[in-house]
Amino acid sequence: MRFFFTLLSLSILFLGCKKQSTETDCMQLSAAITANDVEQTKKGISNFINNLPSAAYTSQNIDKLTSTISGQCIITATVLCFDCIKTLPSQSEIRLSVVSGSTTVIKIIDITYTPDNRMKFRNMHD
């Protein structure tokens, strides 16, 4: 019985930390987008990519990234296109919308991939 309560306590502790971490990640990402801070946005998006079941550069994973951001944060994320920017390497675009006070800040982020085909934040622009 004692083992059960110890296991239950540890489970609650770890689950609680994950939720708080997600809230912090969302707040930091929202603030970075609002402030047009490309480096902090890169860190925030990279955290979300790293927490996905797979970071492979695929249409399905770009969709998972946007649904995760929209589902966990007060940020609307929409895939504009997958692998549509024909640069080397090619890029995908995601629109991020954050309500800040009485205004809505809209930014576009570019997602590209590494040589081992993992998603990678490239840039943020209007």
Record the tokens describing residue 9, joined without a space: 């306590």
Contact predicate 86/69, CB 8 Å: no
Q: Which of 74, 73, 93 is nearest to 84 (CA)?
A: 93
- What is the reported pTM? 0.82
Q: How confident is the model over 82-126, as pLDDT tens digits? A: 999 999 999 999 999 999 889 999 999 999 999 999 999 999 999
Q: Which of 45, 37, 84 is nearest to 68 (CA)?
A: 45
Average pLDDT over every residue of 74-86: 96
The distance between the two most distant Cα atoms of the chain, rounded to a whole number of Å, is 60
| Amino acid sitting at position 35 | A
